[in-house]
Chains A and B, each alone.
Chain A
Amino acid sequence: MRGFEYASPTTKEQAVSLLGSSDDDAMALAGGTDLLSLMKDDIVAPRRLVNLKDVAELRGIRLLPDGSLRIGALVTVQELLDNAIVKRGYASLIHAADGITSPQIRAMGTVGGDLCQRPRCWYYRAGFGLLAKDKDGAALVPEGDNRYHAILGNTGPAYFVNPSSLAPALIALGAKLHIFGSGGQVEMNLENFFAAPTSANEKEYRLKPNEIVTEIIVPSAGGWKNATYEVRQKESLDWPLAAASVALKMSGKTIESARVVLGHVAPVPWRSGEAQAYLAGKTISEQVAETAGTLAVARASAMSHNGYKIQLARVAVKRAIMKAAQGGQR
């Protein structure tokens, strides 16, 4: 790891002021489980780290007067799992957080860090860049070892999958994100935070080098049955191969409205408009859930080694819908 300066401010204003105009100048440190690894591999090399863990206002989970839930960006995954309000109404978040199976990662890793962790794409991690090109500018992924890469939104130049465990659940629950920068606070839908990069100097999320995520606002899940289903190769210490989070507004056995978001299948958390449109007005059944799964991957396309993920994603959507309809119990 290259040398760097270290500062530990106590307010978000100080933190933003200590950041710079590029990641080479400075980067924000939260749980550290991803950032320090990236620095050890020389994928990023900031001249300064700004530790956010002493900024008290970035912590805490609380209900807001309008019934929505405010989750501080520095809340750890374990704190999220242990929170009584989250446990009561947000099953899909619990399922997703529970999928982060290492107790150490849960104790260290933060909600903001989960959203801002960088892709696990091994080309990126090996120094070929986020868009993974060889020295002549040819894309390495489509004919390379792409067994964990994207099956949706994979027309290039980005082929990696978004690594966030919590983003699909939060997006399906309608979460908003608060970002603080030199211009003050900005609110955006979490869904709009993510964008597939189109050039090498872009990231997969919209956060300037001198901005920080401060909190996530999740609307009341009252009336929305929600669940997450992950398909994984290993039970621990790895990311899922495919995941789906759903939120269903039900009236008896009828689905009035549905939100379906897939994880680990595209460069962004992938909302399936097709599955959502199909589900609206349907009476819940295994057959309906299965058809929704099939529609969710209707536009999927395999690269040379990841065709199996299409089936996994289809099944993840089906099982997440059934799990939500049954009350989101594990």
Chain B
Amino acid sequence: MSDEKKPDKQGLSRRGFLKASGISLSVPLVLNYRMVKAAGAEVKVLGPGKAPIQLTINSKPFTAEVEPRVTLLEALRNDLDLTGAKRVCDRATCGACTVIMDGKPVYSCSVLAIEAQGKKITTVEGLMQGERLHPVQQAFVDNDAQQCGYCTPGFVVACKAFLDKNPNPTPEEVKRGLGGNLCRCGTYVGVRAAVLQASRGRKGGQRG
């Protein structure tokens, strides 16, 4: 391990600081990180307690205090009241938690909130344009592309990310391009039709 201060030593010095400066102990003084010497540089080490984070979600700034172990999905749902992304497998194998990060679809269950700082994050809540559904959302409605609906927000976001990269996909490309999301109701036919409709930018998808 690198050369670093023991936490108890740090605690002592904090008390020492409080005593010396005469600040009342009732004033919260949060030490969220410590600096650790690593290969000649000082590197910030956060946690395991809470640390403040800043996220940019749907073009708006958000702040929260989370432990490093909190995933982006947990921060969205539990701290930021953005419950569109769903927690299903929580193991990067179902897609219900999909969000777009810096233009790429990612499983938010497998991104730490702390490492999502500085990234542009889009969730399903950010897709509507005013009161109008995003074309992908509208296409899901038009093509009955959901049954129980639990996978739907993740699917909608994954479809948007796919279409951003492949604006004019073939049916085979659509099938492969949605390979990161599962629907236990089996509504894949509707979802594929929705993506094809959205890619054509008109009403009336094609099933099959």
Interface residues of A (CB under 8 A from B): 1-11, 13-18, 20-21, 25-26, 29, 31-34, 36-37, 39-40, 47-49, 51, 53, 78, 101-105, 107-108, 235-237
Q: How far is the CA of A20 from the CA of B106 in the complex (A)?
A: 29
Nearest CB of chain A from residue B169's CB, rounded to whole Å: 12
Q: How far is the CA of A48 from the CA of B41 in the complex (A)?
A: 18
Given A107-B106, A108-B110: A7 touches B46 (CB 8 Å cut-off):
yes
Q: How far is the CA of A180 from the CA of B161 in the complex (A)?
A: 35
Name the residue of chain A whose CB is nearest to the CB of B51. A6
Name the residue of chain B whose CB is nearest to the CB of A33. B92
Nearest CB of chain B from residue A57's CB, rounded to whole Å: 13
Any A CB within 8 A of the CB of B47 = yes
Name the residue of chain B whose CB is nearest to the CB of A36. B110
Q: How many residues of B contact A (CB 8 A)?
A: 43
* 5 more A-B residue pairs beyond the given contacts A21-B1, A104-B158, with a C-beta to C-beta distance below 8 A: A6-B45, A37-B110, A102-B179, A104-B98, A237-B180
Contact of A32 among B39, B67, B111 (CB under 8 A): B111
Nearest CB of chain A from residue B167's CB, rounded to whole Å: 15
Nearest CB of chain A from residue B34's CB, rounded to whole Å: 9
Interface residues of B (CB under 8 A from A): 1-2, 36, 38-41, 43-49, 67-69, 71, 90-95, 98, 104-107, 109-112, 114-115, 158, 161-162, 176-177, 179-180, 182
Nearest CB of chain B from residue A37's CB, rounded to whole Å: 4
Q: How far is the CA of A32 from the CA of B111 in the complex (A)?
A: 7
Q: How far is the CA of A15 from the CA of B38 in the complex (A)?
A: 8
A-B contacts counted at CB < 8 A amount to 133
Asked if B38 and A103 make an inter-chain contact with CB atoms under 8 angstroms apart, the answer reads no
By Cβ-Cβ distance, the 4 closest A-B pairs, closest first, are: A102-B180, A236-B179, A3-B48, A13-B39
Q: How far is the CA of A47 from the CA of B36 in the complex (A)?
A: 15
Contact of A6 among B68, B71, B182 (CB under 8 A): B68
Name the B residues within 8 Å of A47 (CB-CB): 48
Asked if B104 and A37 make an inter-chain contact with CB atoms under 8 angstroms apart, the answer reads no
Name the B residues within 8 Å of A37 (CB-CB): 91-92, 110
